[in-house]
Structure 1
């Protein structure tokens, strides 16, 4: 049978639409949910808010005493102190994983298991995984801080153990891989909160309220097809999404071509309409396609790009020479020069008694010296910066930070600028969004544009001399083709909410209408085919008899 060349797009769109329209409905509906409720996560602000204040801890060992007692002599990338593991004060010592030249080596810092040390006795706590008793103690401390924050007279919520899980519907994030398996704990509070506690560090690493869990199934779980994660289909999950998204692009593009061919831009049809279809559902599908096909194509294409198909956005840029900014790792042998935690806490505590107490202390290298950062829950991205030696407030010279940052790559700096406003590649998003919850995107920020092969840009915090973000040509392409097209996180829109909400909801509702009409049309087409098949069978049986 010979077909006119224009017949093929009709057939491709028809049958891909029959198969995929229901999936498009799911994507549009779940996308609207994700605008307001994201996949459960533990933000930095939430984590700090549920840590007991350090000021109430007596008898804390100095860092040198704790490291010496635990037998830790290796260079460290960072050291932190918090009451965050089984309701006890603990030092978390992160080994330095940079190479001999100070470049960042393969593993991400958050994937490096820390060395845990009891801050009162110096005992190593990470010799074996944390058990159920420790997990329940961490959850109880979380509940106690939640009750204290609410300033109620009611006792902290009770906790109960739900089991040990490797991965479930709320813990797919790769950021949790270093903590698996996870202790699953139910907090009997008004929000029905469930906590996930690391078996490696004893810390609460994820919280999920009853509302978040419920909306997650209609939002992220449905949107990212997480029903294929964690089971027999897990190895095929990425391929399933890539394939469906690619076919979705073909379905939308062929539909757009067909729609344009059949739409009368000049002289209308004899019916007086611009569309030739007499059935209302077909007319609505045609009209909504003309209005929203471009948005639908942008969303399904950017969804495909989010999976980094064939590694198109994988950076080949040279690792940063972090030693240029740090001046070297933390050396436990020099910890004797540091002020005691009590002195740091006293210096970091504001005179105003109503201000938030310090929840965590961190020691990290910068420009050849050691900084002590005091974090509270009100300003998770803006710690108080102290000199670790004498606990004095410290302001790093901006010129020294810039000079050191210029050596992060062996290439000249084409431009160095201190930004006091966000740009297209460095900007905040709401905590619940996939790219949100970044307490580490403060302002001002130093932006360096390197004249290297990959056009690298590096953003550095001038207060702490820490690299906040690094982007290059490949990552910037992902910014355009994924995050911009998928969530329209364009600053002129984001800064003028609810304009962004109205824009996103209008396009999403239009796309959902387009997809729903496709579902109805597809169901009717399949019903017609079924009736025709039954009629042929009856005719064949009569002929045979």
Structure 2
């Protein structure tokens, strides 16, 4: 039986140790340089303030121009390429832009529009057009699907920023500095095996990552068993050592004993990140559409964009973007400022609020499950299921402000909702499978454990030390595999 353990571990290792080494090395890079993205704060920082002097067509006109037959999932007013535009997103469809001055739906973005958007993003930099792409190295994210094709513009700023501009609306939807692009070649792009994409195997990419991770987990488990079996606690080997190996093999043996458990947990949690075989997909997910209370139409918003901007301005709030939102059937206009601050304008009484009343959110949440019981609590501090991450991390761009309202729904999946008191947005829907994923992926893979995460650089030292241990273990495995194949 032992012989088969050794054979399985050896041949799995020959095939997989190089992947393991790449995962450990690229994982360390990802601690500090994430895959390129445009965060909400970056987006707002590069927008000019919406002008009080501009004339804006009414929302009903803009909606009819965008798509008279479909209700949008979101509506925003923003400055794009130097002009105000209504921006509409639709579930499963391309985004649409409407000129806020004329009310005309805009055609697909061309070269000149892309350059104008880049000049708004950075008026001081010279912009060079780099053509349109559907998808490339830095735009694999599914979040960009509604904006494709993407127009690329290179800036000559200090960061050598490459901009990706929506081919449908003209918005800048991603920025990638030269440093991000360079480090990501050995960071996230390598870690997620993105080199396998764009070469004709895109449809197989997910399964390739899943089964490589599964094989890696099995290999690491077998190695841990063999390592324990070969280590002598009582009687040393003739050499006086408790390990029978020498040289690189000895490094591999001892490295496995020291770092094997973490290696197993990291490759296993990486497997869990792919949601293999839909393990974390609920069989009966809670439908939260009733939280909005009605389709997003102009009827719920009697105040115009110009009136809203004037009321925000009276409060000393300079809005750079407006967002129309329905909460429990009631209309609210959310104003976004450059520093990430928000204000809420109620359509019911015209009041400008810093935060929405708790009862408004609780009443809207109750509409999701009218006959069900709900328990709500206001969180004043982060906890295991609601916390912020560094901007460069995979989900670090998501705003996690405090306080936040947590609503526990008594549905079959015991779903939790996190509701933003500042905007009314549903920040997260956590049912039982997703809470399990929080343990098996986020905790095991990036050590999102608050007592450690909030004590940097202790978290950094922990992650780097054990990543280096895993790298030594993997590289020594590569050397041993190469020697075996060379015989």
Q: Same fold, TM exceeding 0.5?
A: yes
For residues 390 and 411 of structure 1, the distance between their equivalents in structure 2, rounded to whole angstroms, comes to 30
How far has the Cα of 1:275 moved from its partner? 0.7
Instruction: Tell me which residue corresponds to 1:291.
Output: 258
Say whether the 8 Å CA contact 1:305–1:481 is kept in structure 2: yes
Say whether the 8 Å CA contact 1:367–1:465 is kept in structure 2: no
Instruction: Tell me which residue corresponds to 1:21.
Output: 17
Instruction: Tell me which residue corresponds to 1:8.
Output: 4
For residues 390 and 158 of structure 1, the distance between their equivalents in structure 2, rounded to whole angstroms, comes to 46
For residues 370 and 165 of structure 2, the distance between their equivalents in structure 1, rounded to whole angstroms, comes to 42
Distance 1:181 1:65, change over 3 A: closer
Distance 1:526 1:164, change over 3 A: same
Instruction: Tell me which residue corresponds to 1:328.
Output: 294
Equivalent positions of 1:24-423 (< 5 A) are 24-55=20-51, 58-64=54-60, 66-67=62-63, 72=68, 75-84=71-80, 86-94=81-89, 107=91, 111-125=92-106, 128-144=107-123, 156-277=124-245, 279-323=246-290, 325-333=291-299, 335=301, 337-338=302-303, 340-349=304-313, 357-379=318-340, 382-388=341-347, 391-394=350-353, 396-409=356-369, 412-413=372-373, 415-423=375-383
For residues 408 and 350 of structure 2, the distance between their equivalents in structure 1, rounded to whole angstroms, comes to 34
How far has the Cα of 1:15 moved from its partner? 1.7
Give the secondary structure class of the aligned counterpart of 1:364. Answer: strand
Give the secondary structure class of the aligned counterpart of 1:408. Answer: coil
- Does structure 1 residue 521 correspond to structure 2 residue 480? yes
For residues 356 and 111 of structure 2, the distance between their equivalents in structure 1, rounded to whole angstroms, comes to 44
Q: How many residue pairs were aligned?
A: 486
Cα-to-partner distance string for 1:147-195 (whole Å, 9 max, x where unaligned): xxxxxxxxx1111111111111111000011111111111111111101
Cα-to-partner distance string for 1:439-484 (whole Å, 9 max, x where unaligned): 2x22211212222211211112234433211011111111111111
Cα-to-partner distance string for 1:264-290 (whole Å, 9 max, x where unaligned): 12232232221111x221111111100
Give the secondary structure class of the aligned counterpart of 1:508. Answer: helix
Say whether the 8 Å CA contact 1:242–1:304 is kept in structure 2: yes
Say whether the 8 Å CA contact 1:65–1:122 is kept in structure 2: yes
Please, which moves more after superposition, 257-266 or 11-20? 11-20
Distance 1:288 1:75, change over 3 A: closer
Cα-to-partner distance string for 1:191-241 (whole Å, 9 max, x where unaligned): 111011111111111100000000110101110110111221212211221
Say whether the 8 Å CA contact 1:411–1:451 is kept in structure 2: no
Say whether the 8 Å CA contact 2:366–2:374 is kept in structure 1: no
Which has more radius of gyration?
Answer: 1
For residues 66 and 285 of structure 2, the distance between their equivalents in structure 1, rounded to whole angstroms, comes to 36
Distance 1:344 1:410, change over 3 A: closer
Aligned Cα RMSD in Å?
2.2
For residues 359 and 510 of structure 1, the distance between their equivalents in structure 2, rounded to whole angstroms, comes to 48
Give the secondary structure class of the aligned counterpart of 1:365. Answer: strand
Contiguous gaps of at least 5 residues in structure 2: none
Give the secondary structure class of the aligned counterpart of 1:113. Answer: strand
Distance 1:229 1:526, change over 3 A: same
Say whether the 8 Å CA contact 1:406–1:448 is kept in structure 2: no
Contiguous gaps of at least 5 residues in structure 1: 96-106, 145-155, 530-545
Distance 1:196 1:225, change over 3 A: same
